[in-house]
Each structure stands twice: as structure tokens, then as C-alpha cells.
Amino acid sequence: MKRRMNVALTLAMAFSLALTGCAGGGEKASPAGTADQEKGKSEGVVSLRIWAEQNNFSTLEKMIASFQKKYAGEAKFDIALEEMSDAKTRDNVLADVHGAADVFPVPDDQVTALAAAGALDPVKNQEGIEKANLKEANEAGTIDGKLYVYPMTADNGYFMYYNKKYFKDKDVKTLDSMLKVAERAHKKINMEWTSGWYMYSFFGNVGLDFGINEDGVTNHCNWNAKKGKIRGVDIARALLKISSSSGFQNSPDANFVADARAGKVIAGVSGVWNAMDIKTIWGNNYGAVKLPTYTVAGKQVQMASFTGYKSMGVNYYSKNKEWAHKLADWLTNEENQTLRFVERNQGPSNINAAASEEVKKVPAIQAVMEQSKYGSLQRVGNNYWTPFETFGKTMADGNPEKEDLQKIMDALVKGITASTVN
């Protein structure tokens, strides 16, 4: 789907100068560029395309309108919004970089591939952008000291939702306590165990090794370790104990809201995208906190998470690259990150926006920010995901074939570290 916004504004020079003077901040009135680009500003139309998900269109239209107002005296704009899934940005850009949008959203796990392919034009005002945004958000978009994208949100992680009707503050500190509450109430705590994204929470803080290799496509991992304070089989035993509880439910994240609405689920591991629905369902009883600790090898270990950030990238092959940078910068500035929070409940990466009193009042955003202290950026090779489909189901089902736990862990690690060569 495409939605186009056309603006043809011709203003007298005096008004243009007055408008520029009001902009403040010492920002240059026009971006640097070639002679042809300079000519295009006065005589041609600056055409720009933005990829975005449909549910963000109305908010982006307001941002585009304010961008056009700010630069009204400098160019005529033809700006198009085109529907595209954020999760598919990398695939669609790399499939046809010359035909891709000028500006597009970039989840942090896609930055490396896009930068390596030469599809991203690095941020122009790196120092200024870094000062304005959270350190972790900047790091998520930086490779070898160069910032490739404009930070936009800092909420693409997960945490624990809970219904205060059932849980007290002390209950949500440990998963053991939460399961006992759910058992007594004959209710469920939901978590998706066939997803490596969520299952990382049981592995990330146990002291074992995992990461992506220098080739950028394969992994190193010793989650099947036979020695150490916490071994691979210890994690497997911990998972089997959790799944044996009548208060536990392995179910896709997509089912979480429906089961909460039905009264079946009273807590669940998920992200901010479900905040508005859960708030509507549980009302004043809606709560959200960092993930609890869980018991493994006789120890209480803080559950980990993959942290996530989204940014805006500029296509290296944009025909109006300098204006594309100005637009990406505008769409991610403090004012528009605040607007994105107000209208879409998305957590800002901008330091000032994130520190606002209104943001502090949203439990889900506060929870994901608190959980980020115990999380890691999602940097995984291609073969990380599939092995968890089998492993997670086996653990959730209680190891029905009674397979040897060491063999199960060995198979998981073998799959995760497998070569990508056929």
C-alpha cells in the first residue's frame, strides 16, 4: 500500500528568511550537495519514499507535515508512505537496494547486514545524535565506531506482565513464587518456549558462552557444558520443573492477549506491543515488571532477555540523500519520539523523551527499560532459531520420550553452531 503526500510551496524570500530564522539551533537552512542537487531545491521536486508499518501511518503523516512546514521555503516535497513490515526491511532492501525506500525503519539485528552490504548511508551528525540518545540505542546502530542509523525506540524487548488481582509485589520477584500463585488460582503464566528469542532468557545469565562468530553468520555456544557451576543439564532440569507446574503454559505470544481476555492467563512474558490490550483487559490491575529470577542448580538466577532497538536508516543509493538524512533525523528527534510515545505507546530512545513524567507512568515501558539491565543485544547467526523449535517443545512437553538430557543439550548446541554450508 502507498500513501503519497504532495506539497508544492512557493514562498517569498522574506518569509523564507523569517521562517528559517525562527527555526533556531544554528542549523543550516539547506543540506550540502552537488550543483544538481542545489538546482533541484529551487526548481525541482524533492521526492522521498518512506517504508513503515500500516499502524504507524497516521502518526508519521503528522511528522511529515511538520517536516514540510519546517523546510517549506527550501523545497517542494513529494513524500510517499509505503507499507512494509519492519521485520522484512533487511530482506527487501537487499533484494533491490536501488528500488528500496529512501528512509526505512531498521531493527537493531538488521544493522550489521545492511551496513555490510553498503545499503546504509552513515549518520551525518554522529556526535549530536549520540548525545541526544541512550548509550545502548547508539551502540545498537554502531559498527567499528560509525553510527549507521538514527535511534528511534528503545522498547523492542520483553518482560513480565502480571495481574495485580492475583500477584503481590513480592510474588513477581521469583518465577517459583509466580507459579505457586497461578497453581492456587488454577490459572496460567504464558511464555513461548518454541521461540529462541524468549528461551534465551534461561541461558543468558548463567555464565555459559554464546555469541556470533566473526563471519557474521555462525554461532559459538557451550550451553551443553558438562562442567561449571551451572551445566547444560542443570538448565534442562530447571525447564522441566517449570513445565511440570500446572500454572505454566507454553503458547505463542500471539495467544497471550486472547487467553488473558478469557481469564485463563494471569501473567505472561511479552513486550510493549501488547500493553494497550492488557491494560484494557486488566484495567487497574495491570502490572509489568522485569523478568523474575528462576531456580537452576539450586541458585536463583535473574532471567535474561534480548534487548531491542529500532532506528531509521537512509538508503545509500537515495537520489535525494541529503534530504533523506534530514527527514530521518526529523522523524527520530525528541519531539517526534514523544509524539510516537503518545500515539503509539512506543518507548523513546531519546534521553529527554525517555525521562519524561508521562513515560515514567507507563509500566510496560519502565519494565522493558529495567529488564534491559539484564539483557543483551540480539546478535545471533542464522542457525540459532530452528533448534529451539524442537528443544522448546520437548522441554514444555516434559521430555515425553525420556531422552537423555545431555544428549538433548548436545543436539541443541549442535544445531545452534552448525555451519551454514550445505
Q: Cβ distance 196 to 415 under 8 Å?
A: no
Q: Cβ distance 391 to 408 under 8 Å?
A: yes
Position 364 pLDDT exceeds 50: yes
The domain 159-307+366-416 having CATH identifier 3.40.190.10: the answer here is: yes
Q: How confident is the model at residue 216 (pLDDT cuts 50, 70, 90)?
A: confident
Residue 342 CA from chain centroid, whole number = 18
Coil, helix or strand at residue 20 = helix
Q: How confident is the model at residue 345 (pLDDT cuts 50, 70, 90)?
A: confident
Q: Cβ distance 191 to 198 under 8 Å?
A: yes
The domain 2-153+310-348 having CATH identifier 3.40.190.10: the answer here is: yes
**pTM tops 0.75:** yes
Instruction: Count each helix (H run) and each strand (E run) in the chain, helices first.
Output: 19, 19
136-185 pLDDT, tens digit per residue, is 999 999 999 999 999 999 998 999 999 999 999 999 999 999 999 999 99
pLDDT at residue 269 in the model:
98
Mean pLDDT computed over 285-296: 98
**Tell me, what DSSP letter sits at residue 123?**
P
DSSP-derived pairing of the beta strands 248-250 and 159-163: unpaired
Site of grid cell 520420550 = 401
- Radius of gyration, alpha carbons of the chain: 24
Residue whose C-alpha is closest to residue 106's, from 83, 88, 132, 129: 88
pLDDT at residue 421 in the model:
59
CATH 3.40.190.10 domain span(s) along the chain: 2-153+310-348, 159-307+366-416
Q: What is the spatial distance between Cα 267 and Cα 59, in angstroms, rounded to a whole number?
A: 30
Q: DSSP H helical segments within 200-264, as ranges?
A: 232-243, 256-261
Position 13 pLDDT exceeds 50: no
Grid cell of 362 as nine digits: 507507563
Q: What is the spatial distance between Cα 412 and Cα 194, in angstroms, rounded to a whole number?
A: 12
Q: Cβ distance 111 to 90 under 8 Å?
A: no
29-87 pLDDT, tens digit per residue, is 333 333 343 433 445 899 999 999 999 999 999 999 999 999 999 999 999 999 999 99
What average pLDDT does the chain have? 90
